[in-house]
């Protein structure tokens, strides 16, 4: 069973701090990795994608990928209360000759003033 594992949280951080969200995956041949943000009662929203080892920065968000360790993370700098949401890690998996995404259960982030 190909899996994506995330700590369910809640991860509680003070406003202005760095929030660090982690994800591990089991499929060694995965090539594409995504972070989605989901506010309560809303749909998942794509915020970051990463395809190669290392860091990718976009504004306050940095995605980090280490394929050897099968580990992907999301850092949120200068956390704001508006960042409070569930963050879903998604990893591509090739099954039956086609590509699909496997989602983790999500980590709930709470940023308190």
Partner 1 sequence: DARVTQTPRHKVTEMGQEVTMRCQPILGHNTVFWYRQTMMQGLELLAYFRNRAPLDDSGMPKDRFSAEMPDATLATLKIQPSEPRDSAVYFCASGPEGGQPQHFGDGTRLSIL
- The site for partner 1 (CB under 8 A) is made up of 32, 34, 36, 42-46, 49, 88, 92, 95-96, 98-101, 103-106
Q: Which is nearer to partner 1, 18 or 105 (CB)?
A: 105
Q: How near is the Cβ of 54 to partner 1 at its closest, in Å?
A: 19
Q: In angstroms, give the least distance from the CB of 39 to partner 1.
A: 12
Supply the minimum distance, in Å, between the C-beta of residue 87 and partner 1.
Answer: 13
Helix (H, G, I), strand (E, B) or coil at 81: helix
> In terms of CB distance, is 84 or 86 closer to partner 1?
86
Cβ nearer to partner 1, comparing 61 with 103:
103
Rounded least distance, CB 76 to partner 1, Å: 19
Tally the C-alpha atoms within 13 A of residue 75's C-alpha that lie toward its C-beta. Answer: 14
Reported for 37-44, long-range contacts at CB under 8 A and 24+ positions apart, including other chains, are 37/85, 37/86, 37/87, 37/88, 38/85, 38/86, 38/87, 38/88, 38/106, 39/85, 39/86, 40/85, 40/86, 44/88
């Amino acid at each position: 069973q190909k899996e994506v594992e995330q700590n369910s949280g809640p991860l509680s951080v003070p406003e202005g701090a760095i929030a660090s969200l982690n994800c591990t995956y089991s499929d060694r041949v995965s090539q594409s990795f995504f972070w989605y943000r989901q506010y309560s009662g809303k749909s998942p929203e794509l915020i970051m994608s990463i395809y190669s080892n290392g860091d990718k920065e976009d504004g306050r968000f940095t995605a980090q990928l280490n394929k050897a360790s099968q580990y992907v993370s999301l850092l949120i700098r200068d956390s704001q209360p508006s960042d409070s949401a569930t963050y879903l890690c998604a990893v591509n998996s090739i099954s039956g000759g086609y590509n699909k995404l496997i989602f983790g259960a999500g980590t709930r982030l709470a940023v308190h003033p």
